[in-house]
Structure 1
Amino acid sequence: MTKFLKKLVGPLVSIFFLLNMTSTGYAETTVSAEVGFIFNTLLFLICGFLVMFMAAGFAMLESGMVTSKSVSVICAKNIGLFSIAAIMFWLVGYNLAYGIPEGGYIGKFIPWSDASAVDTGYSDGSDWYFQMVFCATTVSIVSGTLAERIKLWPFFLFAAILAGIIYPIVMGWQWGGGWLAAAGFSDFAGSTLVHSTGGAAALAGAMILGPRLGRFTKKGEPAPVKPFAASSIPLVTLGIFILWLGWFGFNGGSQLAMGTADDAIAVSSIFINTLLAGAGGVMAAGAVTRLSGKTDVVQMLNGCIGGLVAITAEPLMPSPIAAILIGAVGGVIVVYGTKFLFSLKIDDVVGAIPAHLFAGIWGTLIVPATNPDANFGAQALGVVSINAFVFVVAYIVWSIMKATIGIRLSKEAEMKGTDVSETGVIAYSIRD
């Protein structure tokens, strides 16, 4: 017992010392490299768990937003895309992003292997896991936009290409030390690298796929709500709260360190700003829709996502008031972005394009307003280059798939519902 207590005292003293340091008194940690390694690794793992839980949030959000005859397929898509992202990010994705030469454009097409060492500051495996769940999040954004008319396995094929090649390439441009990092582009947790990437890929797919049957009238206006009514608003709400919770891991974990008091304070500040930006997005979207006569709960829910996406590019530097305002603008963008898509007859079932692509662009461009180290030119360069690359490549991939294996369900299958035509498993006994 005495030996056990002696072994226990050292780590406890180190932890107590670390927790009681102040940012003004201790700019750098004085704990051992091994203790710092443990704290940093725990940050990656714990925040990675939270980001993985976002997969459940996307599944619930999408399941609630589609009609009741397409819920089982949404569940299949979400569990499938997450599994595909894990395999592809191990097979090629991680090294495509991090095997890139300094200032370069693309890494290596080789599987990832763990080479952890204490002097790196964290476990390589924890970093791989944390980055992999970001990759899965990018793919999840595409799923809901194309719901109710896309074939399941062609979607899985696109998910593999996005997770294994497209996303890792643009990720490496900045987070892997590539050419955008050299140009001074700043995107703390991925307003553009993750969210706009997913939104741009979804936009290309929606344009190639076309809207659901009867979604727009001949005049170009959205069809009456009833045939396309969401299956469960409570489920959507649950999904949003899960995503909001997961976002603390998304943004907080992107501090990438927890071995000093300053890092711990930074993560706490990021949590506060993430919370407030989401709240700003909710209330701004609700207020804007109220001006038209009724408060739209769906837009409030998506406004939360818009606010969270907007703050993701820089969640540390803004003041709380600035975070609320940045999130609020994200919420307003969601409302008017949805109307803009309607005017173009682009059918985005869950509203992912306004919430992720449009709000992501806003969040990235506004970074210089709160971060003096960022500049608008570099931010604009990153936004344009990433979104153009992803959209063009995704458009080409979707077009090739459409011309070869086909991506859209037949009219009969779509009318029956994707649950019947794709899985044979009916989610609800009473369907539209």
Structure 2
Amino acid sequence: MKEGKQSSARIGFMLIALTAILTMNGNALAGEEIPGSDLGSVIRGIDTLWVLLGAFLVFFMQAGFGMIEAGFIRAKNTCNILTKNFLDFCMASIGFFIMGYAIMFGTGNAFMGFEGWFLINAESGADIPMFAFWLFQAAFCGAAATIVAGGMAERMKFVAYIVYSFIISALIYPIVGHWIWGGGWLAGMGFADFAGSAVVHTVGGVAALVGTYILKPRNGKYSLDGKPNAIPAHSIPLASLGLFILWFGWFGFNSCSSLSVGNGDLIARVAINTNIAAAAGGIAAITTVWKRFGKPDLSMGMNGSLAGLVSITAPCAFVDPWAAIVIGVIGGVLVVFGVELLDKLQIDDPVGAFPVHGIGGIFGTLAVGIFGKPELGIEGFLYTGNPMQLGTQLIGIIAVVIFIAFSMGLVFKVIDKTIGLRASETEELRGLDICEHGMESYGGFQIFS
């Protein structure tokens, strides 16, 4: 009976397909044009679908950021951090629509673009429809903005965060993007960043560091003698879910940055390098923290995988898999020492935003000049002994760090002096969920501190 139904279904499908083919052939024989039937249009349509798939996957990474940040902080601030992640993408979408895209990809000078405000007369940066390219780039913009939420978690005013989110999305991030991906001065020098170690992650990581430094540590984070006190994550399972969502979304983040399906070898190389760097980073971080402190800390292992992902994002198209493993291992080790360094400096970064995205982004940018393979378009120092590409990467990343540190320092200072940056001590102790949103995240049962 089951086989009969399957056979009927196959026959029905074949009849539908045959009818469609005969209809198309009939139209062609009658001299009627079939819109988009030429090979070039088909290829462009497939490329468009590929880039839109990337946009959807990068958008889904917002859920990953939300889950991992919520899991790493206390229950009383969970709703607050999720609301910030939610509004990050809202602000990024509107800000990037109004002016961000024009600044990043519009015709202008070496510093910024000036055409395409509100997408009026805007042009695509690839051989796909402009709207598809815009959505892909807007998703990247949202990712850069939301990195900061974790670093400044549990004590930043909600209204201050909204103002910050719009400014970085509409102005600050697009300027750096123009330098590197929009034909700006770094692009002219030959600076290479395939999918955003510098453009997305260094921007978000350094902005988080500057904001966290200005905001000061959470109450009780450091003792009078300067030693850090552990403020435990309230939900490791939630954070773990966030990690796997991010890892999954990163395949779209990196692979779809090809902007075309035409080069299968490139896409496959990017995909395997992305995966293997994440795996190596997780192993390296958990091994390092196990050796140093006697326990295989899962939270540090997860941050190690994220650091591996961040580190491979710029060089993923330019290196062999063995190099991706090395890059992931170095990124995973760096994140452990980065977290320790911030604690020594009494800079309270609850989720490790700067060690993961800032340090990982800087290293990944430099890794292009170290491990880049000449056959893949980059004259890496290990292969050629030529320091030119590494020097270009160094100049570029220094410029990005200085620009973000100065511009975001100014933004946070202005916000602090006007509407205020930090929540009151009472609000911080009670939790931002109740004080700023009037709700709790777990049905009124405050089972975690």
- Alignment TM-score, normalising by the size of structure 1: 0.90
How big is the shift at 1:120?
A: 6.3
Q: Secondary structure at the match of 1:70?
A: helix
2:410 maps to 1:408: no
Instruction: Give the C-alpha shift of residue 33 in structure 1.
Output: 1.6
Matched-pair contact (CA < 8 Å) for 2:75–2:441: yes
Q: Which residue of 2 aligns with 1:385?
A: 399
Q: Which residue of 1 aligns with 2:21?
A: 5
Tell me the equivalent position of 2:255. Answer: 252
Structure 1 segment 43-54 matched on structure 2, within 5 A: 43-54=50-61
Please, which of 200, 211, 216 is the counterpart of residue 194 of structure 1? 200
Q: 1:35 aligns with which of 20, 32, 42?
A: 42
Report what 2:322 is aligned to.
321
Q: Deviations over 1:213-270 (max 9, x none)?
A: 11011122111x2xx2111000000000000000000000111111x2xx12211211
Name the CA distance, whole Å, in 1 between partners of 2:391 and 2:215. 34
Specify whether residues 302 and 161 from structure 1 end up closer, same or farther in structure 2 by C-alpha distance, changes over 3 A only: same
Instruction: Establish whether residue 88 from structure 1 lines up as the match of residue 90 from structure 2.
Output: no
Aligned residue for 2:356? 355
| 1:370 matches 2:377 | no
- CA 1:120–1:306 in structure 2 vs 1: closer, same or farther (change >3 Å)? closer
Aligned equivalents of 1:398 and 1:120: distance in 2?
A: 34
Decide whether the 8 Å contact of 1:154 with 1:406 is kept in 2.
yes
SS at match of 1:69: helix
When residues 229 and 3 of structure 1 are mapped into structure 2, their CA distance, relative to the original with a 3 A threshold, is same
Q: Secondary structure in 1 aligned to 2:159?
A: helix
| Aligned-partner Cα distance in 2 for 1:123–1:205 | 37
Per-residue deviation, 1:322: 1.1
Which AA in structure 1 matches 2:372?
Answer: T
Aligned to 1:288: 288
- Count of matched residue positions in the alignment of Structure 1 and Structure 2: 404
What is the aligned partner in structure 2 of residue 267 from structure 1? 267
> 1:278·1:308 contact (CA, 8 Å) conserved in 2?
yes
Give CA-to-partner distance per residue, 1:93-134, whole Å, 9 cap, x none.
001000143x611112721147679x9621111100000000
Query: Which of the numbers 72, 80, 85 marks the counterpart of 1:78?
Result: 85
Secondary structure of the equivalent of 1:185?
Answer: coil
What is the match of residue 161 of structure 1?
167
Q: Structure 2: which 5+ runs fail to align?
A: 1-15, 26-37, 380-388
Q: Which amino acid aligns with 1:142?
A: V
Q: Which amino acid aligns with 1:282?
A: G
* Residues 163-172 or 214-223, more deviating: 214-223
Question: Shift in Å at residue 317 of structure 1?
Answer: 2.4
**Could you tell me whether the CA contact under 8 Å between 1:33 and 1:121 is conserved in 2?**
no
> Does the CA-based 8 Å contact 1:92-1:111 persist in structure 2?
yes
The runs of at least 4 consecutive aligned structure 1 residues that moved more than 6 Å come to: 114-117
| 2: CA distance, partners of 1:316 / 1:397 | 34
Tell whether 2:322 aligns with 1:306.
no
Whether the aligned pair in 1 keeps the contact of 2:173 and 2:203 (CA below 8 Å) is yes
The CA deviation string for residues 357-412 of structure 1, in whole angstroms up to 9 with x for no partner, is 00111111011222433501110111000111011100011011111110101111
In the alignment, is residue 130 of structure 1 matched against residue 136 of structure 2?
A: yes
User: 2:441, 2:19 → 1: CA distance?
Assistant: 58
Q: Distance in 2 between matches of 1:202 and 1:7?
A: 58
Displacement of 1:153 in angstroms is 1.0
Cα–Cα, structure 1 residues 303 and 5, in superposed 2: closer, same or farther, change >3 Å? Answer: same
The residue number in structure 1 matching 2:440 is: 426
The answer (yes or no) to whether the contact 2:106–2:123 under 8 Å persists in 1 is no
**What is the rounded CA distance, in whole Å, between the counterparts of 1:378 and 1:6 in structure 2?**
58
Q: Quick one: distance in 1 between partners of 2:373 and 2:358? A: 22
8 Å CA contact 1:64–1:236 kept in 2: the answer is yes
Gaps of 5+ in 1: 10-30
Higher relative contact order, chain-length normalized (CA < 8 Å, sep 6+):
1
Is 2:198–2:365's contact at 8 Å kept on the other side of the alignment? yes
8 Å Cα contact 1:100-1:178 kept in structure 2:
no
Distance change >3 Å, CA 115–CA 194, structure 1 → 2: closer
The one-character-per-residue Cα deviations of 1:160-195 (angstroms, maximum 9, x if unpaired) are: 000000000000001000000001111110101100
Aligned counterpart for 1:214 among listed residues 193, 215, 220 = 220
Contact 1:63/1:71 (<8 A) preserved: yes
2-side partners of 1:191 and 1:233: how far apart?
26
Cα RMSD over matched residues? Answer: 1.8
In 1: Cα distance, 2:22 partner to 2:45 partner: 20
Counterpart CA distance in 1 for 2:296 and 2:68 is: 19
Inter-CA distance 6–115: structure 2 relative to 1 (3 Å threshold): farther
3-state SS in 2 of match to 1:408: coil
Alpha-carbon distance in structure 2 between the residues aligned to 1:58 and 1:114: 34
Contact kept, 8 Å, 1:81 with 1:136, in 2: the verdict is yes
Conserved 8 A contact 1:116-1:122: no
SS at 2:220 equivalent = coil
Identity across the alignment (%): 39
Query: Do residues 181 (structure 1) and 187 (structure 2) align?
Result: yes
Q: Partner of 2:75: helix, strand, or coil?
A: coil
| 1:7, distance to aligned residue in structure 2 (A) | 6.2
Q: Provide closer, same or farther for how the CA distance between residues 120 and 211 of structure 1 changes in structure 2, counting only shifts above 3 A.
A: closer
> Contact 2:126–2:133 (CA<8 Å) still a contact in 1?
no
What is the TM-score when the length of structure 2 is the normalising length?
0.87
Q: What is the distance in 1 between the residues matched to 2:264 and 2:436?
A: 47
- The change in CA–CA distance for 1:33 and 1:211 in structure 2 (over 3 A counts) is same
Contact 2:106 2:113 in 1 (8 A): yes
